[in-house]
Structure 1
């Protein structure tokens, strides 16, 4: 129900770009590309945090209220992570651990019993660059949702790129760069990641 209301508001703002720009100015610090301090103070009112979950104090929570952030029961976001839902919802399931120094940029859905080791980047965002007559930072961005299914272990310093779906009971080796969908019950590794073992 709340999601439907949020979507209705988003659609309404699309029809009024001037109001959208004004609200975006009030909510987001454009230079720092993060919510303004007074919005961050209100975060506990609009973020969903499941019972027994924990977000360490050093985590950078770039979670404006116009997108969804949900952390499941008994899940943990460890120190020095950056969670950003400014361009897409970030949904994290139950009993999931987001390791030290991870960066997650939505739209991303992470399942239950997922373990992300250290230094992982999960980004559904790309900068547009095709028009050579414009600077890259003038061309906007595009997003493709990422889905990490239940019971996945991702090794340190792996990178998960836009549009990828990772199946159930998958191991992603340390340092892998995942550019394509991964089926259930495999180990993948390399750059780009390829199946190296069936489970």
Structure 2
């Protein structure tokens, strides 16, 4: 039984790697070293740009009809994360919301996720949000407003809980990271 479980797990991993290689060209941009689970996830590929070394956990839903979702380098997403880049137009009189196809400019807004961000499992990122460099979004959070660099946010709606580093440590961290890039 253990062998069967191991074998099936191995097959799923190989299938995911192959589908990842095939699907990466569908993204607007996709840097090297990205790993995502296209089989059990939904992406609006044409509006999404991925940096280098991005990991997107299983069951992701990254969706934006018109605006872009830009994801920096070395970003990690836990399982079941949703990024929603827009709303439905709900302001038309005399029509069912389902039948309204026209979007208003305020219905969509770009989402930017900077480098070195970690988004925990089952978090939701809504339109118009920027997640600053090095920030952390705790599992299950709903992010409705932009997050400052190196902040740790949690809750619904997400609020700053604390910062990863002091201001002095942030400068040291940035210099060390920059040296790694050189």
Alignment length, in residue pairs? 139
The unaligned stretches of length 5 or more in structure 2 are 1-15, 165-182
* TM-score, normalised with respect to structure 2: 0.69
The unaligned stretches of length 5 or more in structure 1 are 1-53
Aligned twin of 2:34: 75
Could you tell which deviates more after superposition, 121-130 or 169-178?
Answer: 121-130
Whose strand fraction is larger, Structure 1's or Structure 2's? 1
Runs of 4 or more consecutive aligned structure 1 residues displaced over 4 Å after TM superposition: none
Larger of the two Rg values belongs to structure: 2
Q: Is the aligned partner of 1:166 residue 2:128? A: no
Instruction: Give the alignment of 1:155-194 within 5 angstroms.
Output: 155-194=120-159
Whose helix fraction is larger, Structure 1's or Structure 2's? 2
How large is the Cα RMSD of the aligned pairs?
Answer: 2.3
Deviation of 1:69 (Å): 1.9
Find the aligned partners of 1:56 and 1:137 in 2 and give their Cα distance: 36
Instruction: Give the alignment of 1:1-199 within 5 angstroms.
Output: 57=19, 69-78=28-37, 79-85=39-45, 89-106=47-64, 107-140=68-101, 141=103, 142-199=107-164
Higher relative contact order, structure no. (Cα contacts within 8 Å, ≥ 6 residues apart):
2
Deviation of 1:57 (Å): 3.0
User: For each residue in 1:35-91, what CA deviation from the matched residue of structure 2 results, as whole angstroms up to 9, or x when unmatched?
Assistant: xxxxxxxxxxxxxxxxxxx86539xx6x97xxx6221101111251111146xx210
Aligned twin of 1:40: none
